[in-house]
Amino acid sequence: MKLSVVIPIYNEKETIRAIHAAVQAVPIDKEIILVDDYSTDGTREILNELASPSTRVLLHERNMGKGAALRTGFGNVLGDIVIIQDADLEYDPQEYAKLTRPILEGKADVVYGSRFVTGEYRRVLFFWHMLGNKFLTLLSNMMTNMNLTDMETCYKVFRREVLENITIEENRFGFEPEITAKIAKMNVRIYEVGISYSGRTYKEGKKIGWKDGVAALKCILKYNLLR
């Protein structure tokens, strides 16, 4: 089965070459889809260098957000399995094998990579980010009747058929609770796999903030109660 790796990008000139090389190094049949959300720091020029038969580059003509970039990427995948990969170096592509295993073994349709149920390493960083994540995951679980431990994780893996039945509406980080609410309403099998995590600081380029947490809270209510 072929893997489609969708990488949403915004101003990641310091890491894009490294993450692209790390994804390429994974010994799995795959395509890489780089979606640039109107970067202004020189990232686009680097993407032109990375384009190849196995790496497609898609460009937004204005900045719209991570959800919008993923919507563009999902609309162009050719693989049987689709995985989201952030453009920073917080998540390790060497874990693709264990993330896709439940799907390849016929047990799952969707897999979440959890940073909290894991025997792997993770960088110790922000307490309030962790607390906010756990609160949003708890509220999401209360609405969906699921027992996820990391709703906000980047690593979400889907059989392509699942994504073909979902329309992504959120343009920014509201994508995470939106997709979770929508798959919860489908007759699909969802698994979690423990992953490592090398989080970065704001000085190192982290972008998500408290306003995104408030937006995620609104999206949990919107897609679970109002739809």
Q: How confident is the model at residue 117 (pLDDT cuts 50, 70, 90)?
A: confident
In the chain, where the domains are located: 3-225
The pLDDT, as a whole number, for residue 17 is 98
Average pLDDT over residues 28-46: 97
**pTM value?**
0.92
CA distances from 197 to 30, 54, 118, 125 (A): 23, 27, 10, 11
Beta partners for 156?
A: 112
Q: In this structure, which topology does domain 3-225 adopt according to CATH?
A: Spore Coat Polysaccharide Biosynthesis Protein SpsA; Chain A (3.90.550)
The pLDDT, as a whole number, for residue 38 is 97
Percentage of the chain exceeding pLDDT 90: 81
The pLDDT, as a whole number, for residue 176 is 97
The pLDDT, as a whole number, for residue 66 is 96
Average pLDDT over residues 93-117: 96
The 10 Å Cβ neighbour count of residue 149 is 18
What is the C-alpha separation between 219 and 143, in angstroms, rounded? 11
User: How far is C-alpha 123 from the geometric centre of its chain's CA atoms?
Assistant: 19
**Residue from 174, 175, 198, 185 nearest 224 by CA:** 185
Look up residue 81 and give its DSSP letter: E
Q: Tokens 């306003």 identify what position?
A: 211
What is the C-alpha separation between 87 and 66, in angstroms, rounded? 11
The pLDDT, as a whole number, for residue 133 is 83
Q: What is the pLDDT of residues 177-221, one digit of tens each?
A: 999 999 999 999 999 999 999 865 545 545 566 677 788 899 999
Rounded-to-10 torsion of CA 152, 154, 158, 163: 70
Percentage of the chain exceeding pLDDT 70: 90
- Average per-residue pLDDT in the chain? 92
Q: What is the pLDDT of residues 67-97, one digit of tens each?
A: 999 999 999 999 999 999 999 999 999 999 9
The pLDDT, as a whole number, for residue 219 is 95
Rounded-to-10 torsion of CA 78, 62, 7, 90: -170
Given CA atoms 134, 137, 141, 143 in this order, what sign does their dihedral have?
positive
The tokens for 99 are 């993330």
The answer, yes or no, to whether residue 159 has pLDDT greater than 90, is yes
Question: What b/e sequence results for 82-115 when a residue is b if at least 16 CB atoms lie within 10 Å of its CB, and e otherwise?
Answer: bbbbbbbbbbbbebbeebbebbeeeebbbbbbbb
The pLDDT, as a whole number, for residue 212 is 73
Write the burial class of residue 74 (CB in 10 Å: 0-12 exposed, 13-18 middle, 19+ buried): buried
The answer, yes or no, to whether residue 124 has pLDDT greater than 90, is no
The pLDDT, as a whole number, for residue 202 is 47
